[in-house]
Amino acid sequence: MCVDCVKEEFPCRDTMCLEDGSYLLNFSRCARCQELGNLSIEDKYCSEDESGLELITYQHVCPNCGHIIASHEYSFTVEDGYMLYTMSCALCGEAEDQRSVLPYDDRQRSFF
């Protein structure tokens, strides 16, 4: 991770968990070559363990000079009837989200 390449380290992204892509609004510029533009995604690795946890990791890399901007980690699992998502990345931020596997979620019931 390069703190000089991002505007804010690990910004709070609430429930916005991304398994792919780059949060370019937080990209300042490459500290090595000073270029500003799209980033490459390299060394992408997907794994799943016996409990069903899916883990995706990759690196945000400057396509001009190969400088590693940040490492991205995304996870997904299903527990107790809820899909759980997490993301942690110096560029894209930190986030967590939960969604019911059922069409109706009792936790989001509105009372009138």
Domain containing residue 96: 3-100
Does residue 111 belong to any structural domain of this protein? no
What is the model's pTM? 0.84
pLDDT at 24 over 80: yes
Here the tokens at position 21 are 């892509």
- pLDDT bracket for residue 50 (50, 70, 90): confident
pLDDT at 60 over 60: yes
Does residue 65 belong to any structural domain of this protein? yes
E strands in 15-79: 40-48, 54-61, 68-79
Q: What pLDDT shows up at residue 110? A: 52
How far CA 57 is from CA of 73, 105, 110, in Å, comes to 5, 30, 37
Strands 40-48 and 54-61: antiparallel
Q: What pLDDT shows up at residue 106? A: 65
CATH number for the domain harbouring residue 66: 2.60.40.4240
